[in-house]
Chains A and B, each alone.
Chain A
Amino acid sequence: MRPLKLVPENTNIDFLAVRHIATGLSVLLIIASIALVAIRGLNFGVDFAGGQMARVEFQQAVPIDEIRDRIDSLGLGESSIQQFGDERSVAIRLPLPPGGDSASEEASTRIRSFIEQTWPGAHISSVDAVSGKVSEELFVKGAWALALAMGAIAIYIWIRFEWQFGVGALFSLAHDVALTFGFFALTQLEFNLNTVAAILTIIGYSLNDTIVVYDRVRENLRKYRKMEMIPLLNLSTNETLARTIVTSLTLIIALATLVLVGPEVIFGFSAAMLLGIVIGTYSSIYIANPILIWTKVGTDSFVPKERGPEGAERVQAKEVP
């Protein structure tokens, strides 16, 4: 028996041959994502939009229209009702009520008692109520976390590699984040605090991929000093391809399990991460690499710095006799 080899030995795929098409596609997708976010908007959860959300389990299935009509008769604004899990479980969301902080909290108490009275036996499994002030804060904090994480990571890579690599990593991250936003705008899955965590994780793992390729690029730059940049990038991508495939597969296995049999409450979260793994793998090949060509990483980028002291010693040794 032989071990399973998903990538044949000595693969030599000319990844970068299609780089112009890939770049065009990515730019299109990014524009489409931005447009989607602008037009359809994100389906903000109560964390960011403020308001109330109650998850209710009814004893038997109740038509969504009926729930909506009854809840709307409360006069707390237009409700949005979604099923999750089986058909007896619904999530009822209400917008931020006018008035101060206490209005939001009062509304949640009213919904609770209204549901208990209207549908006896209905079980309220969770209630969240977030006031306008807090939700805005959470949103600003979330946005900062994203921006800071991307900045910090780019700086780290700049220090460990060269500035071009930092730029490449930053752009491929921005690509991943934009597409994830587009995915949320398209599917209208709830965008909440957990989603921000998912995006940060996607950033982390997309980076993993990019760094593995970049590490090999750095190594090959030292090894093949006369090689042209494009073949060198192709070589590096091919050499790390087996690892990329195997790791992406293990992650996909783990996350798909979570999407399929995990708790419903974090479905959006798991789905976003699953998608992020795919986008991240793509971007580390087709965004991170071409940027190295455009920013003209020299074949001698790493040589003088790292080999400097050794070379100097050699020169000295020659001059002594």
Chain B
Amino acid sequence: MLDFPRWKVWSVIAVILVTVLLAVPSLLPGSVRASLPAWVPTPTVNLGLDLAGGSYLLLEADTADVATQRLEGMQETVRTEMRRSPRIDIGDISVRDGRVSFMVRDASQVDAVRERLNQFTTGAGFSGQRDWNIEVVDSTRFVLTPTEEGLEQAIETAMGDATEVVRRRIDELGTREPTIVRQGRDRIVVQVPGLGDPTQLKELLGRTALLEFKLVDTTADPAQLAQGIAPVGSEILPYPDAPGGLPYVAYFPDQPPRVAVQRTTMISGDQLVDARMEFEQTTNAPGVVLRLDGGGGRRFARVTTENTGRPFAIIVDDEVISAPNINEPITGGVARIDGGFTSESATQLAIALRSGKLPIELAVVDQSTVSPELGQDSINKGVFAAVLATVLVIAFMLVTYFRFGVYATIALIVNILMIVGVMALFNATLTLPGIAGFVLTIGAAVDANVLINERIREEQRRGRTVVHSIEFGYKEASRAIFDANITNVIAAAIMFIFGSGPIRGFAVVLTIGIVTSVFTAVTFTRLMVAEWLKKRPKQLVI
């Protein structure tokens, strides 16, 4: 078994060469790596946020909100749809106990209603379930119940869109290599390396950025608004930056002023093509310029023509940003929002509007920030500890096993390089616990060699020849090595499955370390030993 066929020798050497070469870019300083020609592949080990410095945010979506929105949306759909000609009279429409219900006035139209409703329910999930259940009770009352499958599908869609919006917003910030990943049913993980203070990021992500243009209801009475009573067909919204003295605005001493706006949306954010911060030419005040798409532009032109002289409200996330008067029809499809902006706040609003509205509200449930200095300090100390540990372990192996200590040392160094190489190949992330895993691997990697060497000593003691001792040593030790390493792989796999962030990093390093250390400590040392045995040594001091 100590005879290696030639092809095996070469394949072991090839594996080692390739993985060690893969490690090289990660070991080069960044400046050297950057100066390499572009055609040189440079796979590198990623640094986790705890080493690179940066911010980590775990966002959680309010899925209950999706359910509510769907119910309200369905109620609205039913209303508009039944108004279509031929009109069907319905009444008593309401959302209650998580379902939409309404009555059909004329019992003979029940089938017609059912037909119209069927257009709005679609299949959901794999089971052929529809997204809404439609029931008729007491012969004229329709009850629409959202199905579990339908809700899950809606959440799925909303989360997919939300992830995309989050990505666009973060890209706008111009940060380097952010990672945005969906996690589980209702979460998004955001990692931005190098970002030391996530306040701005959180403000940007916390915003739904639902943009609406609605007409201000100038008939509203401020005294009634103050009591929270709006005219029919209008709703009351806060208008923090309202200029003083408007007759249709209710003012308060320590609350934002309120204004009534019509419920119908003239233009919404969906019709937006672009939003930019721009300075007004005459006053130099920052504002946001909006460009609408063709349909939105035409609609905007028509509405502004019909309502010249009246104020319209520009609403973002249910708050009136400004409510300018329509002085003349706006036909160019370009609108401008002014309203007490600083250039930063205008830029932020522009980014939020440009990236579209979040289909679902997101809350930060977990966050962590590490400054780049602390990260660098951790790297320095971690690398120093790793180098020192390696040197000490090597010294210990050399005085304990002499020649076989040299083999174990070569195997250990190759092992370290291979771990780096394999990590670079998989683009794995090195975290702080990962460095600890690395150091631990250095201590444990020699275990296989210790097992083998001690076994060789034992066999020698029993009076076997050099070759036989070595042969038995490798053979008898391999069973324990195998079992011991498999159990460690089990522990690492469970850490990977159940752990998050840094723990996963640790598990990855550990697993790679286990595989490469078995390869180097068993196969590679055996190869070196086999080469040495070709010289037919008379004795072995171990």
User: Which A residues contact B (CB, under 8 angstroms)?
Assistant: 2-6, 9-10, 55, 100-102, 104-105, 108-109, 112, 123-131, 133-134, 138, 141-142, 144-145, 148-149, 152-153, 156-157, 160, 193-194, 196-197, 200-201, 203-205, 207-208, 211-212, 215-216, 219, 239-240, 242-243, 246-247, 249-255, 257-258, 261-266, 269-270, 273
Q: Can you identify 16 A-B contacts, CB atoms within 8 angstroms?
A: A3-B402, A101-B363, A126-B369, A128-B369, A130-B366, A141-B498, A145-B494, A145-B497, A207-B487, A208-B487, A239-B458, A242-B454, A246-B450, A257-B389, A265-B432, A266-B432
B92 at the interface (CB under 8 A from A): no
A126 to B370 alpha-carbon distance, docked (Å): 4
A109 to B205 alpha-carbon distance, docked (Å): 15
Tell me whether chain B's interface is mostly helix, strand or loop, or mixed: helix
Q: For chain B residues 496-542, which have a beta carbon within 8 Å of chain A? A: 497-503, 506-507, 510, 541-542
B428 at the interface (CB under 8 A from A): no
Closest Cβ–Cβ distance, residue A211 to chain B (whole Å) = 5
Query: In the complex the two chains form, is B490's CB within 8 Å of A156's CB?
Result: yes
Give the residue of B374, B439, B502 whose beta carbon is less than 8 angstroms from that of A254. B439
Closest Cβ–Cβ distance, residue A181 to chain B (whole Å) = 17
**Contact partners of A203 in chain B: CB under 8 A:** 491
B64 at the interface (CB under 8 A from A): no
**Contact partners of B443 in chain A: CB under 8 A:** 250-255
* Known contacts A201-B510, A263-B377; A149/B382 CB under 8 A: no
* Known contacts A145-B495, A201-B440; A153/B487 CB under 8 A: yes
Query: In the complex the two chains form, is B374's CB within 8 Å of A55's CB?
Result: yes
B373 at the interface (CB under 8 A from A): yes
Query: In the complex the two chains form, is B447's CB within 8 Å of A262's CB?
Result: no
B446 at the interface (CB under 8 A from A): yes
Query: In the complex the two chains form, is A243's CB within 8 Å of B451's CB?
Result: yes
Query: In the complex the two chains form, is A254's CB within 8 Å of B484's CB?
Result: no
A266 to B436 alpha-carbon distance, docked (Å): 8
* Known contacts A101-B60, A247-B446; A261/B388 CB under 8 A: yes
Give the residue of B450, B492, B501 whose beta carbon is less than 8 angstroms from that of A243. B450
**Contact partners of B87 in chain A: CB under 8 A:** none
Give the residue of B373, B439, B495 whose beta carbon is less than 8 angstroms from that of A200. B495
**Contact partners of A108 in chain B: CB under 8 A:** 367
Closest Cβ–Cβ distance, residue A34 to chain B (whole Å) = 23
**Contact partners of B396 in chain A: CB under 8 A:** 249-250, 253
Specify the chain B residue showing the minimal Cβ separation from A215: B480
**Contact partners of A148 in chain B: CB under 8 A:** 494, 498
B385 at the interface (CB under 8 A from A): yes
A175 to B405 alpha-carbon distance, docked (Å): 34
Query: In the complex the two chains form, is A157's CB within 8 Å of B487's CB?
Result: yes
A257 to B390 alpha-carbon distance, docked (Å): 10
Give the residue of B371, B483, B498 whose beta carbon is less than 8 angstroms from that of A142. B498
Query: In the complex the two chains form, is B439's CB within 8 Å of A215's CB?
Result: no
Identify 4 new A-B residue pairs, CB closer than 8 A, beyond the known A207-B484, A250-B396. Answer: A149-B495, A197-B502, A254-B392, A263-B377
Q: For chain B residues 207-246, which have a beta carbon within 8 Å of chain A? A: none
B133 at the interface (CB under 8 A from A): no
